[in-house]
Amino acid sequence: MGVRHSGRIIAVQVLYSYEMRKDERTLSDLRWVSSDLKEESLLFARFLIGGAFERLTEIDRLIESASDKRDFDRIAKVDLAVLRVSVYEMLFQTQPLAPRIVIDEAVEISKNFSADDSYRFVNGILDKLSREVLK
pLDDT in tens, 27-70: 777 766 666 767 888 889 999 999 999 999 999 999 999 998 88
Percent of the chain with pLDDT over 90: 68
Q: Does residue 126 contact residue 103 with C-beta atoms inside 8 Å?
A: yes
Q: Which pLDDT score is estimated for 42?
A: 87
What pTM value is reported for the model? 0.92
What φ, ψ does residue 37 adopt, rounded to 5°? -75, 150
Residue ranges and CATH numbers for the domains of the chain are: 3-133 (1.10.940.10)
Of the candidates 38, 49, 41, the one whose C-alpha atom is nearest the C-alpha of residue 5 is 41
Q: Is the pLDDT of residue 80 over 70?
A: yes
Long-range contacts of 55-59 (CB under 8 A, 24+ apart): 55/88, 55/92, 56/84, 58/92, 59/83, 59/84, 59/87, 59/88, 59/92
Of the candidates 83, 71, 70, 92, the one whose C-alpha atom is nearest the C-alpha of residue 114 is 83
Of the candidates 93, 16, 80, 20, the one whose C-alpha atom is nearest the C-alpha of residue 54 is 93
